[in-house]
A and B are shown apart, each in its own frame.
Chain A
Amino acid sequence: MTQPSGKTKSLSLVLAGSGGSGVITAGNMLLAAAAKAGWYGLMTRSAGPQIRGGEAAALLRLSSEPVSAQPDRYDLIIALDWQNVQRFSDEMPIDAETVIIGDVSAAKNTPEFVTEGPAQRGDIDFKTMSKAIKGGRPNMIALGTIAALIGLPDDALDAALVASLSKRGEEAIAASRAGVEAGRAIAAEMPATPSLPAPEGEKTGRWLISGNEAAGLGAIRGGVRFVAAYPITPATEILEWMSPALTKIGGVLVQAEDELASINMAIGGSYGGVPALTATSGPGLALMTEAIGLAVASEVPVVIVDVMRGGPSTGIPTKSEQSDLNMALYALPGDAPHIVVAPNSISDCIFTTQWSVHLAEALQTPAIVLSDQALGQAKSVIAAPADIAFFAQRETAVTPAEGEVYQRYADTGSGVSPMAVPGTPGCTYTADGLEHNPRGTPSGAATDHNIQLDKRQRKLDSYDYGQHWAEQEGEGDTVVLTWGSCTGPVREALEHLAGTDHKTRMISLRLLMPAPKEQLIKALEGAKRLIVVEQTHSGQFMGYLRTNIDLPRDVEHYCIPGPLPIRPGDIEALVKEGTPS
Chain B
Amino acid sequence: MTAETATAPKHSPRDYKSDIKPVWCPGCGDYSVLGSITKAFSELNLDPENVAVISGIGCSSRIPAYTDCYGFHGVHGRSLPLATGLKVARPDMTVLVASGDGDGFSIGGNHFMHACRRNVDLTYVVMDNRVYGMTKGQASPTTEPDWDNALTPGGSGISPFRPLVIALAAGANFIARGFSGDQNGTARLLKEAIEHPGFSFVQILSPCVTFRPDQKEWKDEVHDAAVDPTDDLGRAARRLMTDDGFNTGVLYRGQREAYQPPIGEASASVSDLEGKFAL
Contact = CB atoms under 8 A, between A and B. Distances in A.
Interface of A: 35-36, 203-204, 206-209, 213, 217, 220-221, 225-226, 228, 245, 247-252, 254, 256-258, 260-262, 264-274, 276, 290-291, 293-294, 298, 381, 384, 420, 422-434, 440-442
B111 A272 contact: no
A425 B269 CA distance: 32
Contacts of A434: 73
A290 B85 contact: no
A175 B142 CA distance: 62
A264 B74 contact: yes
Contacts of B78: 260-261, 264, 291
A262 B88 CA distance: 13
A254 B75 contact: no
Closest 8 CB pairs of A and B: A268-B85, A430-B71, A265-B85, A250-B266, A269-B89, A264-B81, A261-B81, A272-B90
B74 A291 contact: yes
B62 to A, nearest CB: 8
Given A36-B279, A433-B75, A250 B265 contact: yes
Given A249-B269, A423-B50, A208 B277 contact: yes
Given A225-B263, A423-B92, A432-B65, A256 B81 contact: yes
Contacts of A298: 72, 74
A429 B82 contact: no
B204 interface: no
Contact of B74 (A252, A294, A423, A442): A294
Given A203-B279, A257-B110, A265 B70 contact: no
Interface string B76-89: 01101111111111
B266 A268 contact: no
Interface string B245-272: 0000000000000000111111111101
B64 interface: yes
Given A265-B82, A268-B83, A428-B69, A206 B270 contact: no
B278 A249 contact: no
Contacts of B266: 248-250
Interface in B73-118: 73-75, 77-78, 80-90, 92-93, 110-111, 113-114
Nearest to B266: A250
B194 interface: no
Nearest to B66: A430
A428 B46 CA distance: 14
Given A267-B82, A423-B50, A442-B65, 10 more contacts: A228-B81, A252-B261, A257-B110, A272-B89, A291-B75, A294-B74, A381-B279, A422-B70, A434-B73, A442-B73
B263 A251 contact: yes
Contacts of A207: 274, 277-279
B232 interface: no
A251 to B, nearest CB: 7
Given A272-B93, A423-B92, A432 B270 contact: no
Contacts of A271: 72, 82, 85-86
B109 to A, nearest CB: 11
Given A273-B90, A433-B75, A261 B265 contact: no
A248 B267 contact: yes
B73 A432 contact: yes
Contact of B270 (A221, A265, A425): A221
Nearest to A275: B89
A248 B268 contact: yes
A220 B93 contact: no
Nearest to A204: B279
A293 B76 CA distance: 12
B65 A250 contact: no
Interface in B220-266: 261-266
B54 interface: yes
Contacts of B48: 428
B187 to A, nearest CB: 21
Contact of B89 (A273, A291, A428, A429): A273
Given A245-B273, A248-B272, A291-B78, A276 B265 contact: no
B47 interface: yes
B49 A430 contact: no
B3 interface: no
A250 B89 CA distance: 11
12 contacts: A206-B278, A220-B273, A225-B89, A264-B85, A272-B90, A291-B74, A291-B75, A422-B90, A423-B49, A423-B93, A441-B20, A442-B65
B68 A428 contact: yes
B110 A258 contact: yes
A429 B70 contact: yes
B49 A431 contact: no
B279 A268 contact: no
Contacts of B84: 228, 254, 261, 265, 268
B131 interface: no
B20 to A, nearest CB: 6
B49 A264 contact: no
Contact of A217 (B77, B92, B265, B273): B273
B52 interface: yes
Contacts of B81: 228, 256, 260-262, 264-265, 268
Nearest to B265: A250
Given A254-B84, A272-B86, A428-B68, A249 B279 contact: no
B82 A264 contact: yes
A381 B277 CA distance: 10
B268 to A, nearest CB: 4
Most chain B CB within a 10 A radius of its CB, from A221, A420, A423, A428: A428
Contact of A425 (B47, B71, B72, B86): B47
B167 to A, nearest CB: 16
Contact of A272 (B65, B85, B270, B277): B85
A266 B279 CA distance: 34
A298 B82 CA distance: 13
A442 B71 CA distance: 13
Contacts of B82: 264-265, 267-268, 271
Nearest to A220: B270
Contacts of B67: 430
Contacts of B71: 428-431
B111 to A, nearest CB: 6
A254 B87 CA distance: 12
A294 B75 contact: yes
Contacts of B88: 226, 252, 254, 265, 269
A213 B277 contact: yes
A203 B72 CA distance: 51
Nearest to A248: B268
Nearest to A38: B279
Contacts of B263: 225-226, 250-252, 274
Most chain B CB within a 10 A radius of its CB, from A221, A268, A420, A441: A268
Nearest to B85: A268
Most chain A CB within a 10 A radius of its CB, from B85, B93, B279: B85
B64 A430 contact: yes
Nearest to A422: B70
Most chain B CB within a 10 A radius of its CB, from A273, A298, A422, A440: A422
Most chain A CB within a 10 A radius of its CB, from B47, B68, B273: B273
Nearest to B110: A257
Contact of A422 (B73, B93, B110): B93
A479 B86 CA distance: 47
Contacts of A247: 261-262
A35 B113 CA distance: 48
